[in-house]
Amino acid sequence: MSQGKVYLVGAGPGDPGLITRRGLECLRKADVVVYDRLIDDSLLDEAPPQAEKIYVGKNSGHHSLPQSEINNLLVKKALQGSTVVRLKGGDPFVFGRGGEETEALAKAGISFSIVPGITSAIAVPAYAGIPVTHRRVASSFAVVTGHEDILKDTSQINWDGLATGPDTIIFLMGVANLSFITSQLIAHGRKPQTPAAIITNGTTPAQFTITATLGEIADVAQSHGITPPSILIVGETVNLRAELAWFDNRPLFGRKILLTRPKAQMGPLKSLLIEEGAEVFECPMIEIRPADPSEIDSAIDILKETDWVFFTSANGVEAFFNHLYQRGLDGRILYHSKVGAIGPATAEALKKRGIITDFIPHVYTTDGILEDIKTQGVKGKKVLLLRADIADERLVRGLEEAGASVKVVAAYSTVPVKYNPEELKELLISNKIDVVTFTSASTVKNFVKSLGKHAELLNKVLIASIGPVTSEAAIKLGLRVDVEAKEQTIAGLVEAIINYYSEVHK
C-alpha cells in the first residue's frame, strides 16, 4: 500500500467564505477530514461524500482527543494510504498547534503540505471595523496567546516589552484570563484609558463586539456574559470602529431566517440573505424530482407543431433540458416555437441553455401571464405548458379562454419532505428563528402539515412570502403573512424582508 499525504489546511476564522481556494482544492480530494470545533459545517460538505470525517475539537477545559492522539491519528491515516486534510480554525501555525502536528508527521516520514489560513487575529478585528494598523495611530501590532496558565511560576510573555512596545495588541483565547491580562498590561506601563474591544464569535452571524477602556473591559465583558471564542484588542485603532463598523451594520445582521425551499435551490436565496447579514437555517419542505420521462417525450414529439412553449419555473427548464440532453438533443429543437417564461429566474435558466425568451409578463405570476398574453396573439395557437405535477389549473383555463389549444406536461414532481414535528416545534419555541420564508404554495402546505397541532407557533415569527399565490396558500391555512415580495423573485423577497425591518426601526 502506498503512503498517503497530510494537508494542514487553515479554514479561516469562522466565515466559511474566508477559506482559501487552495484549501478547498485539498478538501475536495480528501479521503479523511480531521477537523476542529469552530469549523463551519458547510466546509465539511466540500469533502467527497464518502470521505471519513473525524471530530477532534477542543472546548475550554475539554479535549475530545489529546494532542498526542491527534498526532498519532494523522500518522495512522496517512500510513493507511489516505489523503488526509487536517482542517484547523484560523491558520495552522498561529496558536493552532500545527507545528506539533507537522513535527509528528516529519518524525514518522509522512509527506505533508501546509495551506495557510486567515488568522482570526486580523480577520476578526477587520469584521468589527477595527484595523490592526493605521498610518495615523498604529504602525505595529502583536498577537499573543491569552491561554497561558496564570498559575505558572514564570510567564513566556514579556509583559514589559508587550505593554509598551506594539501599538496594537491582539490576545487570542483570553476570555478566561481577561482580568489577569488587563491588570498585567496596566502594571507594566499600558495606560488604563487605552481603548479596548472584545469580539466574540467573530466573522459569523453571531458576532458581538463591546468596547471600553483597558481598565474597564474585563468588568464590562463579565457583565455581558462574554464566552469563548472571543478575542481582545488593545490600542488606539479600536476607536476607529465607530466610523468603520460594517459587518454588524448590515440590514439583516442578527436576524435568524429559516428557508423552506428545496435544498438544491437554496443557494441564491441563502447567499443573498447571508450577504445582508442574516443567519440562515435550512429546512427544505419539498424535493424536486424528474417526472415520468414519457411526459416530456410526448412534448418533444409535438414541438414542430407547437407555436408557444411556456415554462413556469426554472425547475421545468432544468427537467426539460436534462431530458433533451439524454436523448442527444439540445435547444435547437425549439426553433419552431416562441418561448415564454413566468419571470426573470426562469428566463435566466433558459438563457444559460442558449434560449432567449420571447415573453415575460410584467408581473411574475399566473395572473400576470394571463393579463399580458392578449398582446401575444395566442388565439388559435398551439401552446405547450411545461410545469410541476401539482400546479393549479388557472393558467390552463386562462390560455384556453384566450383561444389557445393547450397541452400540459408535468416536467417535474414536487415531493414533500418529512420532518419530525417536535424538531420544528423546538426550533420555533426556542426563539432561534425570526423569519420563515416561503417561496411556493407547496412549501407552505408541507410546513404546516409537518408542524401538525403546533402550527400556531408560526404566529411567533415573521412570515415572508415570495408572492400573492404563496401568500394566498398561507392565508387559507390560517397563517398571517407579514411580508410579501413586490417582485416575485428571490431578490425581491430579500428586499421585502430588508424593507420590513428598516420600517420597524425607523
Cα 333 from Cα 10, distance rounded (Å): 49
Nearest to 97 by CA among 85, 106, 89: 89
SS3 423: helix
Q: Which of 15, 31, 36, 434 is catalytic?
A: 36
What pLDDT is stored for residue 433 in this prediction? 94
Element (H, E) at 388: strand 382-388
- In sequence order, which ranges of 128-232 are alpha helices (DSSP H)? 159-164, 178-187, 217-223
What pLDDT is stored for residue 96 in this prediction? 87
Grid cell digits, residue 254: 442578527
CA torsion, points 166, 171, 172, 178, in degrees to nearest 10? Answer: 170
285 is catalytic: no
Q: How far is CA 59 from the centre of its chain?
A: 24
What pLDDT is stored for residue 337 in this prediction? 93
Apex CA 97: angle with CA 92 and CA 100, to 5°? 115
Q: Which of 31, 40, 77, 173 is catalytic?
A: 173
Nearest to 171 by CA among 140, 196, 204, 138: 196
Residues of the chain below pLDDT 50:
none
Alpha carbon distances (Å) from 189 to 192, 214, 250:
9, 12, 38
Instruction: Name the β-bridge partners of 187.
Output: none
What pLDDT is stored for residue 366 in this prediction? 78
Contacts of 458 (CB under 8 A, 6+ apart): 428, 436, 447, 448, 451, 479
What structural domains does the chain harbor? 5-118 (3.40.1010.10), 122-249 (3.30.950.10), 256-285+417-504 (3.40.50.10090), 289-416 (3.40.50.10090)
Q: What is the pTM of this model?
A: 0.83
Q: In the 3-class helix/strand/coil scheme, how is 49-101 assigned residue by residue?
A: CCCEEEECCEECCEECCCHHHHHHHHHHHHHCCCEEEEEECECCCCCCCHHHH
Q: Is the Cβ–Cβ distance between 159 and 185 less than 8 Å?
A: yes
Amino acid at 407: K
Cα 320 from Cα 387, distance rounded (Å): 10
1 is catalytic: no
What pLDDT is stored for residue 60 in this prediction? 58
Longest distance between any two alpha carbons in the chain, whole Å: 94
Q: Which of 53, 58, 76, 449 is catalytic?
A: 58
Alpha carbon distances (Å) from 86 to 19, 30, 48, 57:
13, 10, 15, 12
338 is catalytic: no
Grid cell digits, residue 430: 426556542
